[in-house]
A = this chain, B = another copy of it.
Amino acid sequence: MANKKITSRDVDFAKWYTDVVNAAHLSSYSNVKGCIILEPNGYAIWEKMQSTLDKMFKESGHKNVAMPMLIPENLMKKEGELIAGFAPEVAWVTMGGSKTLEERMCIRPTSETLFSDYYSGIVKSYRDLPLKYNQWCSVMRWEKETRPFLRSREFWWQEGHTVHETQEEAEKETRDMLNTYKTFFEDYLAIPVVAGKKTEKEKFAGAEYSLTIEALMYNGVSLQSGTSHYFGQKFSKAYDIKFLNRENGYTYAYQTSWGVSSRMIGALIMVHSDDDGLVLPPKIAPVQVRIIPIGQDNEEIMSLANRYYDELKKANISVELDNNPNTTPGFKFAESEVLGVPVRIEIGKRDLENGMITLARRDTKEKLQISKDSDIALEVNKLMNEIQNNLFERAKSRRDNMTYEAKTLDEFAKIMNSTPGFIKADWCGNPECEAKIKEIRGTKSRCILENEKCLTGKCVACGKEAKHLVLWGIQY
């Protein structure tokens, strides 16, 4: 029985998405146009993402810093492509107190300029390199159309910015960080992703090239989920980051940047969740287990509930005991489902007469009876592993089933107009062909599949010789 507050995702996907966000209290619109509030349940997921990624970053030698949130216009302008890309969508501070500023400043839309300016002052010798810094912050882009987590004027993210002695090392960093993101998505978020290179048209303003991971949502729409950019010497030349090299000469440094954002929460919703609300993979769920005693005046039930609570807590499993006297068990079940708690433990009188309790898994809604004397932490961990794997496999087989190949533009259009998803098709490298494909429901190139061979060797749009196999999709 589906949650009554939630529209079915097969009836109206956009409405379903909003309903899940609201029912799970993840975020709400503020009275600041285009800006959202991360409510406690949404922020808790973000914190879990942060702590997991932060550990991965630190283990690979990255350090956190904090840069200013404002960028003076002149500093922003030093690298021409970046300002051209971002100027239409930044917020400008023009007054401090009651005085008009001599030079206006924008709220950072991204911080390449600030990091580069800082690096130009501290990078003197090859001995200072590499510098591998990251910051967690919010950034602002003056979007017109907004949607919780997917696109809002302010969003939360991390941005890594690194400086290297050689091109080789910087390119390795660019790929390593994309792999870190891929691992995080697949092993923690249980979301399969395709990794590849953006086309010239879709790359980050100012990058030599951009790498991306792309995920497919339940409705067949694709989501750019994380990007890693190789800058070569573009910024180091614009911001004068040069160092004494090993041959006693000067070299402009090689740079990268990479980021993932609170948009990942949107991906979690659109890949795993259902008509009963949020579904969270155990590894990223702020609350992994809820214990629900059915009959709170029963001493045996409450003592078991407390024992399980203590044992799970001791095993570092995040657990809550829902003994609210004002709500029914049915309400409690539905609430734990809306919130996406992976495992529910139900302790009821009838089960106990047979020495049993019930574990309910959120992903499949299956119920499992186990002895009340089980090693509860062991059983829960076993079940959470199964859930984590099931969510990934379920998402992967859906993604695979929705990944098509198109050899002609007709085939391409037929697929996209009926059952959208990922389409693999050959491309000649010409942006005009990208534009032509965009006419089909706004389909864009997601990424170049660097390690895959072309299907026919002919561009799907123009028929000329193909350079790459490309993944295409409709994007958020």
- Residue numbers of A with Cβ under 8 A of B are 28, 30-33, 35-40, 43-44, 46-47, 63-72, 75, 87-98, 104-105, 107, 114, 117-118, 121-122, 133, 137-138, 140, 142, 154, 156
A63 touching B40, Cβ below 8 Å: yes
B39 touching A69, Cβ below 8 Å: no
Chain B residues lying within 8 Å of A75, measured Cβ to Cβ, are: 31-32
Q: How far is the CA of A39 from the CA of B133 in the complex (A)?
A: 9
Given known contacts A95-B92, A97-B142, A154 and B68 CB-to-CB distance under 8 angstroms: yes
CB distance from A179 to the nearest CB of B (A): 24
Chain B residues lying within 8 Å of A104, measured Cβ to Cβ, are: 95
B93 touching A91, Cβ below 8 Å: yes
Instruction: Name A98's closest neighbour in chain B (CB-CB).
Output: B88
Can you identify 9 A-B contacts, CB atoms within 8 angstroms?
A32-B68, A38-B65, A38-B66, A40-B65, A44-B64, A69-B138, A92-B93, A93-B94, A96-B142
Counting from the closest, the 4 A-B pairs by CB-CB distance are: A35-B68, A40-B63, A38-B66, A92-B95
CB distance from A341 to the nearest CB of B (A): 16
CB distance from A68 to the nearest CB of B (A): 4
A40 touching B68, Cβ below 8 Å: no
CB distance from A92 to the nearest CB of B (A): 4
Interface contacts beyond A43-B63, A92-B95: sample of 6 additional A-B pairs, CB < 8 Å, sorted by A: A35-B69, A43-B65, A68-B154, A91-B96, A93-B93, A95-B104
Q: How many copies does the complex hold?
A: 2
CB distance from A338 to the nearest CB of B (A): 17
Q: How far is the CA of A64 from the CA of B117 in the complex (A)?
A: 33
A118 touching B30, Cβ below 8 Å: yes
A91 touching B95, Cβ below 8 Å: yes
A39 touching B65, Cβ below 8 Å: yes
Q: How far is the CA of A138 from the CA of B94 in the complex (A)?
A: 19
Chain B residues lying within 8 Å of A67, measured Cβ to Cβ, are: 30, 37
CB distance from A295 to the nearest CB of B (A): 23
Chain B residues lying within 8 Å of A88, measured Cβ to Cβ, are: 97-98
CB distance from A29 to the nearest CB of B (A): 10
Instruction: Name A108's closest neighbour in chain B (CB-CB).
Output: B32
A30 touching B114, Cβ below 8 Å: yes
From B31, B70, B137, A35 is in contact (CB under 8 Å) with B70
Instruction: Name A101's closest neighbour in chain B (CB-CB).
Output: B91
B97 touching A89, Cβ below 8 Å: yes
Q: How far is the CA of A325 from the CA of B146 in the complex (A)?
A: 54
Chain B residues lying within 8 Å of A154, measured Cβ to Cβ, are: 68-70
Q: How far is the CA of A38 from the CA of B67 in the complex (A)?
A: 7
A107 touching B107, Cβ below 8 Å: yes
Chain B residues lying within 8 Å of A94, measured Cβ to Cβ, are: 92-95
Chain B residues lying within 8 Å of A156, measured Cβ to Cβ, are: 66
Instruction: Name A120's closest neighbour in chain B (CB-CB).
Output: B31
Instruction: Name A75's closest neighbour in chain B (CB-CB).
Output: B31
Chain B residues lying within 8 Å of A36, measured Cβ to Cβ, are: 68
CB distance from A318 to the nearest CB of B (A): 12
Q: How far is the CA of A71 from the CA of B32 in the complex (A)?
A: 7
